[in-house]
Copies of this chain bind each other. A is one copy, B any other.
Amino acid sequence: MVRTNRSPRLIDVAHASGVSIATASRALSGTPGVSDSVAEKVRQAARELGYVANLHARSLASGSTATIGLVVHEIGDPYFSEIASGVLSLAAENGRTVQICHTGRDPEAEVEQVRSLVANRVGAILIAGSGFVDASVEAPMRLEVQRYAEAGGRVAVVGRHHLGVDSVLPDNRPGGRAVAEHILGLGHRRIVVVSGTLELTTVADRLEGVRDALQAAGLDPGDIPVLQGPFTREGGRECIRRMLADHPRTTAVIALNDDMAIGCLSQLRSSGVSVPGQVSVSGFDDVAVAQDLSPGLTTVRLPMAEMGARALTLALKEPGARARRQRVPAELVVRDSTGPAPR
């Protein structure tokens, strides 16, 4: 009987080429030990039938997968989409497929997504995005990850501590210090930090760097207002409105990511404040669009795509005796959104 409306199976290829499924399997997967002529005959038959191996069956039989799981907070956010781009490109080069989930920055959704990745028996899990300063918030995640790792899964994280796995860690603190030094060097003293929630380690680390610079310049970090809002463009706008109301003499805004900085620029423009004439603005990340803003955004460059690729590279390696950490340098990029403090 002819199977209609179904994909051809290995056995169909085997029949068509007059060999056993064992031989057909070897010929198709490139396992050595099949004569060239037979292998070619099998490949030919597979091509004609439009045969594509069922990866579920393959995974089940072989006990391994070529699929990588990637967890991000929000794929629409350029920070994450650039990381994802790096992962997808390198994965394709290695013949691996990538399953992505986003979590909306919800720690619970995150755990659920990891669990679903585990269920899909992905070969490795990559987690991008800040963790929480309060390690206890991450306890369930840590548990899930450890369990997976113990069962032989590989895990790597980007920009995140506390999980006890291989990690790619951008120099958030040195980056924060560098951008603050730049601002101070331009003569600014009435500075405001525009920040996401301090519960995130990324935010806390960057802020710490800013404080390092203030302290080194002989200033009291406690004197610098830290305006908190969502870590988004809208959050940036919101903070500027508060700044204009509560700290009207501010001459420089240090935003802790580019998204917020873009919102700052937008709100300052709407409010008729010139940048950098009256107020300087800096960001953090150097998302692709930062250089095309007007004025071009002074920021701290993080090589997001490369960070994603590096995490994948770590995950594809054999695990080390203990968790590896790769530091990624953060580089200050000075553009037109920062200038000398007005006198």
> A89 to B63, Cβ gap below 8 A?
no
B interface footprint on A1-28 (CB within 8 Å = 1, 0 otherwise): 1111111000000000000000000000
Q: A76-B81, A151-B4 are in contact. Are A289 and B262 (CB under 8 A)?
A: yes
Q: A74-B85, A265-B292 are in contact. Are A2 and B152 (CB under 8 A)?
A: yes
Q: Name the contact of A100 in the complex, choosing from B60, B98, B121, B266 (C-beta under 8 A).
A: B98
Interface centre among A54, A62, A63, A119 (most CB of B within 10 A): A119
* A103, chain B: closest CB distance, angstroms: 9
Restricting to A285-311, which residues have a CB under 8 Å from any CB of B?
288-289, 291-296, 305
* A270, chain B: closest CB distance, angstroms: 9
Identical chains bound together, number? 2
> B5 to A63, Cβ gap below 8 A?
yes
A305 (CB) vs chain B CBs: closest residue: B76
> A50 to B153, Cβ gap below 8 A?
no
Is A154 engaged at the interface, CB distance under 8 Å to the other chain?
Answer: yes
Question: Which chain B residues border A117 with CB–CB below 8 Å?
Answer: 97
> B123 to A102, Cβ gap below 8 A?
no
Taking residues whose C-beta sits less than 8 angstroms from the other chain, chain A's interface range is 35 or more
Question: Which chain B residues border A160 with CB–CB below 8 Å?
Answer: none
Question: Which chain B residues border A50 with CB–CB below 8 Å?
Answer: 147
Question: Which chain B residues border A67 with CB–CB below 8 Å?
Answer: 99, 120
Q: A64-B1, A66-B1 are in contact. Are A292 and B262 (CB under 8 A)?
A: yes
> A102 to B88, Cβ gap below 8 A?
yes
B interface footprint on A187-216 (CB within 8 Å = 1, 0 otherwise): 000000000000000000000000000000
Is A105 engaged at the interface, CB distance under 8 Å to the other chain?
Answer: no
Question: Which chain B residues border A147 with CB–CB below 8 Å?
Answer: 50
Top 8 nearest A-B pairs (CB, nearest first) are: A1-B64, A76-B85, A81-B81, A266-B292, A294-B294, A56-B56, A2-B123, A56-B59
Residues of A within 8 A of B (CB): 1-7, 50, 52-57, 59-60, 62-67, 74-78, 81-82, 84-85, 88-89, 92, 97-102, 104, 109, 113, 115-121, 123-124, 147, 150-154, 233, 262-263, 265-266, 269, 288-289, 291-296, 305
